[in-house]
Structure 1
Amino acid sequence: PELGLTIGGEIPTEQLELLIAATERGPWYLDLLDSRTRELVDHQLLEGMLSVGIRASAYAAIRADEELVGVLSIASMAEDAAAVLAGRLGSVQDLAHLAGAVIRNQAITYNRTNALRTEIEEIIATSAFTCVFQPILDLQSGKTRWYEALTRFADGTPPDIRFAAAREAGVEERLEEATARAALDAAADLPADMALSLNFSPAAILGGVLERIGDPGRPVVVEITEHARTADYATLRKTLGKLPWATVAVDDAGAGYASLRHILELKPQYVKLDIGLVHEVDVDPARAAMVAGVRHFADVTGTRLVAEGIETEAQAAALRELGVELGQGYLFGRPGPLQ
């Protein structure tokens, strides 16, 4: 009765088969029925059930936030089918309540993910972001070696939050590709031998983003983001090894386990020291010792260090003393348009 169904008429064979499937497999099959069949479902479903040996069936409504979202059915082929079902109907109703709670939680997750996906697809479609650039300098000579491209979103959302949302919505790879292409376009007037640093997650690289972008006509430092782990380092190494125009940097070394694993597995040309190690490196012996340890690793493996987040000349002097070759930070230039 809650579905508003009545009795009478005839149903085509293919529709009757769907009704039988609904009895055997679940109420979602009813979505495939035409409106005429829906009006006749009670009478003909009974005939369909009898034809396959089902003597009786019972139903319990599945509700999520008071909205009818499905029907849980139970059927019996026993001679005393009605009595069998009567003894189990309470359990079926309890299960329907549980199913409603599960569906509600799934719906909340789906709606959130779908809303995030729609929002980010709109950002990509309208290019609702800009590219800014920050120089990476030789700490001894002060010469700019390359620029890192960074993204700023029009609504002011911090980049780490926006990219995390894209990852949750399953569109991080598309957003990374869109921002990388925009950065390459914005850097078109740089000398062709000036490298550009672009950030990519392992998932985007394994998904073929670098191959789709192709040779950009300038060297590119591919920064592997720290937050993302991967189990397929062999394929990641192979993919990066096929790109003669790309070198590899691991971002935020010292910030977490993922970056250390990236360093060991990928053997990058550059390791970027996390800002947490750089700040107070001039006054904190523990931080200085940590940087010295990473520099020793770099010397042994042929890796070059880049210190992020340098804000004072004292920090820069301490890093030079510790043997760090390259650096970036507000001391040398804030992220902004290319001049």
Structure 2
Amino acid sequence: MGIALYPRDGDDAETLIKNADIALYEVKQRGRNNYHVYTCATNAETPHFLILDNYLHHALEREEFALEYQPIFDTRSGSICAVEALLRWHHPDLGLVSPQTFLPIAEENGAIVELGQWAIRAACTQTRAWQDAGLTWVPLVVNLSTRQFQQSDLVPMLVEILQETGLDPRWLELEITEMTAMQDVELTAQVLMKLKRAGVSLSIDDFGIGYASLNYLKQFAFQTLKIDRSFVGNLTVDPAQKAIVAATIALADALNMKVVAEGVETDAQRESLQSLGCDRMQGYLFKPPVSAEAIAPLLVPQLPRPSPSS
């Protein structure tokens, strides 16, 4: 049991519950079957990740999460060819918590499963709303964590959300990292095939920083390969990095895959990528992640409607 006292530890219910949760973590760290009364020292002594771990369990029900969207551009035409949904956590006390901070914790404690399901549903709902508003139809990209990808009910859950939101699966692209793909190669091949049969597109993220076997890569049902930002960042100053990017683009072409470069921040990087044959890019040079309202004006209607395979 974690205990917080009014008014010493807070003068509203939310603060009292938060501090009682922090006290509860102290009990768990000491072996459970006990109680702890919250003090300021408790908060100071509790490791930051434990506090975040605790906050995460309540953040979804308190509606602290939101999605931002970052467009992926075809630099040949200057038009948006896809939009990636990115999860954001706005904590009332901590402010904006970095995804690099909270996502690993959510993955570890299992909160990522419910959170990921919420994100997919919210993103599909938003995409369908854009379509109903007459805006340009472009694929939506949503990231899947390792734990999500390994859930046995992933495909049924996904199909249910698509049916609920009325979004055609052709307009959904699921993205997993290279590390996730290689954790269990046999499982990955099975899940990817089921997802492909469900009609969604598939992309592999962070390519080149893990340990993917090219023999396995050609067996997986990916349609898009994303070049990690760590290679793009040094592209114009490191010949070795440029060679890796060139090889990755050539590999994608050979496997009939689209290729997207992430983290493009300068014109020099854009020009170098274009010279190597990569035209699909995303990054702060073009547009940072923004709200759905800020993305909508960029989705200029056009006819005919673009195909996800174009």
TM range (shorter): 0.5 to 0.7
The partner residue of 1:230 within 183, 201, 208 is 183
Secondary structure, in 3 states, of the residue corresponding to 2:121?
Answer: helix
Going from structure 1 to structure 2, the CA distance change for 1:203 and 1:137 (only over 3 Å counts) comes to same
The partner residue of 2:194 within 224, 239, 256 is 239
Q: Is the 8 A contact 1:252 1:259 kept in 2?
A: no
Pairwise CA RMSD: 3.1
Secondary structure, in 3 states, of the residue corresponding to 1:121?
Answer: helix
Q: Is the 8 A contact 1:224 1:251 kept in 2?
A: yes
Aligned letter for 1:312? T
Going from structure 1 to structure 2, the CA distance change for 1:250 and 1:119 (only over 3 Å counts) comes to same
CA distances 1:55-103 after superposition (whole Å, capped 9, x unpaired): xxxxxxxxxx99998xxxxxxxxxxxxxxxxxxxxxxxxxxxxxxxxxx
Secondary structure, in 3 states, of the residue corresponding to 1:151?
Answer: strand
Q: Which has the larger radius of gyration?
A: 1
Q: Is the 8 A contact 1:253 1:260 kept in 2?
A: no
**Cα distance, 1:112 vs. partner?**
10
The partner residue of 1:221 within 173, 178, 186 is 173
Q: Within 5 Å, which residues of 2 pair with 1:60-79?
A: none
**Cα distance, 1:137 vs. partner?**
0.8
Is 1:126 aligned to 2:126, yes or no? no
Paired residue for 1:150?
A: 86
**Cα distance, 1:237 vs. partner?**
2.4
**Cα distance, 1:165 vs. partner?**
0.5
**Cα distance, 1:139 vs. partner?**
2.0
Identity %: 29
Q: Is the 8 A contact 2:189 2:221 kept in 1?
A: no
Going from structure 1 to structure 2, the CA distance change for 1:262 and 1:162 (only over 3 Å counts) comes to farther
In structure 1, C-alpha distance between the alignment counterparts of 2:55 and 2:61, rounded to whole Å: 10
Going from structure 1 to structure 2, the CA distance change for 1:164 and 1:283 (only over 3 Å counts) comes to same
Structure 2 residue runs without a partner (length 5+)? 1-28, 34-46, 297-310
Paired residue for 1:209?
A: 154
The partner residue of 2:271 within 317, 331, 334 is 317
Paired residue for 1:73?
A: none
Structure 1 residue runs without a partner (length 5+)? 1-64, 70-110
CA distances 1:257-277 after superposition (whole Å, capped 9, x unpaired): 269797455241101100011
Aligned letter for 2:183? T
Secondary structure, in 3 states, of the residue corresponding to 1:197?
Answer: strand
Q: Is the 8 A contact 2:107 2:147 kept in 1?
A: no
**Cα distance, 1:127 vs. partner?**
2.2
Larger RCO of the pair (alpha carbons < 8 Å, separation 6+): 2
Secondary structure, in 3 states, of the residue corresponding to 2:278?
Answer: coil
Secondary structure, in 3 states, of the residue corresponding to 1:266?
Answer: coil
In structure 2, C-alpha distance between the alignment counterparts of 1:204 and 1:140, rounded to whole Å: 35
Aligned letter for 1:146? A
Going from structure 1 to structure 2, the CA distance change for 1:280 and 1:115 (only over 3 Å counts) comes to closer
CA distances 1:164-221 after superposition (whole Å, capped 9, x unpaired): 1011112321111112222223334323632100000243134223421322514111
In structure 2, C-alpha distance between the alignment counterparts of 1:241 and 1:189, rounded to whole Å: 24
In structure 1, C-alpha distance between the alignment counterparts of 2:219 and 2:109, rounded to whole Å: 28
Aligned letter for 2:149? I
Is 1:196 aligned to 2:140, yes or no? yes
Q: Within 5 Å, which residues of 2 pair with 1:270-285?
A: 270-285=224-239
Equivalences, count? 234
Secondary structure, in 3 states, of the residue corresponding to 1:173?
Answer: helix
Paired residue for 1:161?
A: 101
TM-score by length of 2: 0.67
In structure 1, C-alpha distance between the alignment counterparts of 2:31 and 2:102, rounded to whole Å: 33
**Cα distance, 1:299 vs. partner?**
1.6
Paired residue for 1:269?
A: 223
Paired residue for 1:175?
A: 115
Paired residue for 2:71?
A: 135
Secondary structure, in 3 states, of the residue corresponding to 1:189?
Answer: helix
In structure 2, C-alpha distance between the alignment counterparts of 1:280 and 1:67, rounded to whole Å: 48
In structure 2, C-alpha distance between the alignment counterparts of 1:153 and 1:312, rounded to whole Å: 28
